[in-house]
Amino acid sequence: MNNALLIGLLALLPLVAWAQSDADTEFFGEGTSTVADTKTSNADPTKQFSEQTSGAQWGGTVKSDATWQPSWLRGYPGESSASWTDSLAYDLTTTAFLDARPDKDFRFRLSLKTGYPFTSDTPVLNSAGTATTDTVATPNIKVWELFTDVTINDVLFLRFGKQSASWGVSYFYSPADVISLTAKDVTDPTAQREGPVALKATVPFPNQKANVTAFVLARDSYFGGDSPSIAGLGYALQGDILVGEAQLSLGGFYQKDNAPKGVATLNTGLDFLDLPVHGDLNLFSEAMFSYGSDVLKGSGTSVGTLGPVYSSVTPWEKTVYYTGTVGVSYSNSEFNTTLRVEYLYNPFGSSDKDAAGRAYDTYVASLSSTFSGSNTSDRDYDSSDAATPGIHNLTAQVDCTKIGGSELEFSTLWQQNLSDGSGWFKPLFTIYPWDQLGFNWGLQLVYGDNSTQFPLQFQSYDKNGNSLGTQRVSLIVGVTFGTGKY
């Protein structure tokens, strides 16, 4: 398909449907999923605030697992260049919350996150505020949420504090999310992402099943500094509307020294098409138009201490760029199967097969202050600049639960950089013989040239940080202990 035609179709998708059915949701309550599921969310955005009062409640989530993942490095089994390595990884994290609603017009929530390792080494600053070589052990505890909700005459709903406020409806990518501080993790796409300190105000229009939400975002590390100031505040505005089977949103974001952005999303079921499909189909799409970019542009090639790097780093030209996704999900309850496929167009990527290698080496060189090329920007080339080197990207996932009516599950996750030909996929079996004790086993395979995106992403390192090579084929044997809500 012609690239221009493809871009045009993606740009128009958020504007082709309007509609969705009714259902209550607590916008300022415990929280609902902000990603597209296999069915339309069926959420009426005008149902903003629960009037139920309650005392203080507490709870949280815990993730507890261990995975043995031995791998063949630098080649596939049987190749002379391949070597065998062993690795063991484990997760032990929890997020605990305290939630109270003393009356219908007021709510408070505090959420803390911690995990292993339970301490981290923090550099000691000297009298001038410069980091020294000395470190001190500090507890690994993070304030994940801390906010209050206030409603005024049931027409204005306010939230102030550190809060998760994800925009977007796509599953694996989310270019329309200009609020969250962290990108989506494709291996855990429904995980709650960290949000900023913000003032959020929502006005509902019940008769139109629509609402308008405004944000004033306090400046922090994501927005370019640690000292809040009026000049550094960010502003965002979003409108949502539901009609029939589609949910449409339009929004925008502005902050000094950042690229202004306009976004649009669409999430709709496809029942109205009366397709001969046994199951539920859902279409979702996001579009972002930015004037300029927040990522840096690398060009040219020079030889650095680690390998080929960009010879110059510059801001992108001040013009309008389009970034977009389109995806479809399908679920069949009879066969307990779910399929998701999603495409991302990234105008800031490259079709050059060596682009990922240059971007990665430039980032490492900038991190170690060994980058010797020309940099006309006001910051160093960092991980966000190198994160998505391809123009065309695709991710797909298949989940099958209760195979043959048993407790055995199967899933496959596949990612492909269509621009440089690299990718990876992971078929995995899981079984829970007991409710809180599960086992999984499978494979992970990585393909593509050594200088392309995913072979670089799945590198193995020694204790000194030196690369040992790409984990081309990995065995996966894992156990999960009591992971979930409490």
Place of tokens 């690229």: 259
- β-pairing verdict for 280-291 and 296-299: unpaired
pTM for the whole thing? Answer: 0.87
What confidence score (pLDDT) does residue 276 get?
84
Task: For residue 38, give every residue at least 6 positions away whose Cβ sits within 8 Å of its Cβ, in sequence order, or none.
Answer: 280, 282, 329, 330, 331, 338, 340
Taking only the tens place, the pLDDT of each residue in 112-143 is 999 999 998 888 888 877 778 888 999 999 99
Q: Is the peptide bond before 102 cis (omega within 30 degrees of 0)?
A: no
Taking only the tens place, the pLDDT of each residue in 376-392 is 999 999 999 999 999 99
Task: Report d(CA 481, CA 469) in Å as an integer.
Answer: 31
Amino acid occupying residue 307: G
How many other CB atoms are found less than 10 A from the CB of residue 60?
15
Taking only the tens place, the pLDDT of each residue in 391-440 is 999 999 999 998 888 889 999 999 999 999 999 999 999 999 988 899 99
Can you point out the beta strands (E) in 358-466? 374-375, 392-400, 408-417, 423-434, 437-447, 459-461
Q: Is 131 exposed, middle or buried (0-12, 13-18, 19+ CB in 10 A)?
A: exposed
SS3 422: coil
